Structure 1
Amino acid sequence: MKENTEMMSMELLDPRNDFLFKRIFGSEENRDVLLAFLNRTFDEAGKPTLSEIILLNPYTDKDSPRDKQSILDIKARTTEGEIINVEMQLFNKYDTEKRTLFYWSKQYGSQLVEGQSYSSLKRCITINILNFSFLPNDRYHNVFHLREDQTGIPLIDDIEIHMLELPKLEEREVSLEEGGLANWLLFLKGANPDKWEVLTMNEPKLKKAMTTLEFLSQDREARMQYEARQKYLHDEASLMEAAKNAEIYGFKTGLESGIRQGIEQGIEQGIEKGKQQGIEQGIEQGRQQGIEEEKKQTARKLLALGLELSTIAGVSGLSMDEIRRLQNE
């Protein structure tokens, strides 16, 4: 009881912060914690459990929370050579499905070295823990593979993507005494410390994750790094939201401007080729020009903010080559 009282009086940090998440689950000393979490994830999906994992990018002091280009994910390899990537996403960066496939493909392709055959490629598993609702169903754990539409036969099992959506998880819908993946996710979601004892009843490794969170919450340097990362994440989320709104507003204003220009041009051309045909052609041409110009304006603004080129491409709708040309300008 005394232990719970102390936890309540202490302001715990949020384990959904990707910097803190990696310190809890992605450090060598907590490799057993990550293994337990992965096995609960695979067990719920009907997959065989793992006996051991190797961390490919364990947490070090180089994982700076102030590095704007860093992706504080966790990469591990199984004894069979399969690669697992775990990422905590606190805010919706939009185009989640495309972003997921992009990073999965980089992970899959990076296995090959010169002279190796395609047969040496191993299965890659992506686990996204989302602090926002994403899929149009009420399941908090969704698993995706490559399957044929009608018969469901697999093309290949090399791709496996897990989406864990924290907002869809409610304590009242989970039997805490049974243990399992839900207990881990409730901890990440910020379950009341009063319920920690129940959550760990059948999840002994979860207790170690909680102890690590308590220690980091009391460590001054860890709190400073955590707050720096929180600030960056919130700033990035605000920029993404502003960019998204700018894209929507820009599309609307660009369309209106394009239509006006198209009508004017179409009327002039219609004198010779027929008013109706000229107006239609002018509207379409003006609309396309207006949309393209607004896309470029959006991309220029995001370049000025220093966002990644892939993020700008996702928001603006321009290709990477087009964005590089704008960057060179």
Structure 2
Amino acid sequence: MIKKTAPSSDLQFKKLFGSPENEWILVAFINDLLDLDVESAKVGNPYNIRSFHKNSGLQVTEVDVIARLADGTLVTIEMQIAHKAFFIERLMHYLAEKYSSNFGIEKLEKIKNGRHEVKYSSLRPVYSINILYYNQFQEDDEPLHTFVPYDIKNKTILKSEDGRPIWTVVTLELLKPSEKLKGNSGYWHEFLKKGNAANKAPKHVKAASKIVEYTNLSKEEQAMLDAAQRAKADQEAEFAYQWIKGEQSGIAKGEKSGIAKGRQEGIKEGVQEGIKETARKMLKKKMSFEDIQELTGLTQTEVEKLSKE
């Protein structure tokens, strides 16, 4: 039975940030992570357990929650459990897609300088919040990154007509220390990572922790989470089987080739090749990079290299 309170499942995450009745928590989350002063937001793809079961099942979707602010600005909130190849490229693809989605919706006849505009005036800045259960940026231990289009030579930001950056991307890496965070973002980091709402956490974070608790879910939601847990256990068993099979195969190959180049060296090379072969099989089954790294001991670079073969 699942008792973890952190919203690490797709269902819990969408229930928390995608339910219309929880929009006040969504607004607070957006303000805390983007440092904005938003008063209201509407979920573009509302959570409903029946439609979720029909459309998503136990799978994780690519963009989890889409929020539209009062002026039409879009905010995408995504959760990534494990590293995926070309994550940044995919992130920017969806960001550009959402930016273009408002094109031509509003037809303004005049703007301040007297020009007539009927298409581009409806475009709004876009925001992307990405919660990562892995380290995307290995070069530092900062859990929160904020990116905007920036002119490195003249030190200026590319802004829209209203003075906001044309796009903003925020990443919150949960495997990095939350002690480096100040304000409410630190409380969100702790909750999203462990499910804990600190005593000093604001009321919206404490409310969020209650919403995703297993005992507070409906019977249907609990059943779906239980099924997801069983599916994960089956997948882990498959990992273990492939690992043992690959290791045995590698040792056999190593012993055979060891006649010519030295038994110990041959076994070592054979085991390594067996590990790589196991990783290749896992990739074919679309298993996550993080799980492959954990089970095989290969580095992120090695797994990425194998994925491109």
Question: Which TM bucket (shorter chain)?
Answer: 0.5 to 0.7
Aligned to 1:268: none
Aligned to 1:167: 175
Q: Relative to 1, partners in 2 of residues 1:105 and 1:67: Cα closer, same or farther, differing over 3 Å? A: farther
What's the TM-score, normalizing by structure 1?
A: 0.60
Shift of 1:232: 6.4
Q: CA RMSD in A?
A: 3.6
Aligned to 2:155: 152
The alignment status of 1:52 with 2:30, answered yes or no, reads: no
1:221-260 matches, within 5 Å, as 221-229=220-228
The alignment status of 1:97 with 2:88, answered yes or no, reads: yes
Q: Deviations over 1:24-43 (max 9, x none)?
A: 12101111111111111122
Q: In 2, Cα distance between the equivalents of 1:112 and 1:198?
A: 45
Aligned to 1:34: 26
Q: Is the 8 A contact 2:147 2:169 kept in 1?
A: yes
Aligned to 2:98: 107
Gaps of 5+ in 2: 108-117, 160-164, 243-279, 288-304
What's the TM-score, normalizing by structure 2?
A: 0.63
Shift of 1:220: 3.3
Secondary structure at the counterpart of residue 181 of structure 1:
helix
How many correspondences in the alignment? 231
Q: Relative to 1, partners in 2 of residues 1:185 and 1:109: Cα closer, same or farther, differing over 3 Å? A: same
Q: Deviations over 1:45-90 (max 9, x none)?
A: xxx3111111111111312242648446111111122110001111
Q: Deviations over 1:203-255 (max 9, x none)?
A: 0111211221236556432222224445667859x99xx9xxxxxxxxxxxxx
**Among 113, 117, 131, which residue is 2:133 paired with?**
131
Secondary structure at the counterpart of residue 78 of structure 2:
strand
- Identical aligned pairs, as a percentage? 26
Shift of 1:154: 1.9
Mark the structure with the bigger radius of gyration.
1
**Among 6, 16, 31, which residue is 1:24 paired with?**
16
Aligned to 2:52: 63
Question: Higher helix fraction: Structure 1 or Structure 2?
Answer: 1
The alignment status of 1:188 with 2:176, answered yes or no, reads: no
Shift of 1:109: 1.8
Q: In 1, Cα distance between the equivalents of 2:13 and 2:120?
A: 34
Query: In terms of mean alpha carbon deviation, does 93-102 or 59-68 score higher?
Result: 59-68
Q: In 2, Cα distance between the equivalents of 1:218 and 1:57?
A: 20
Aligned to 2:121: 119
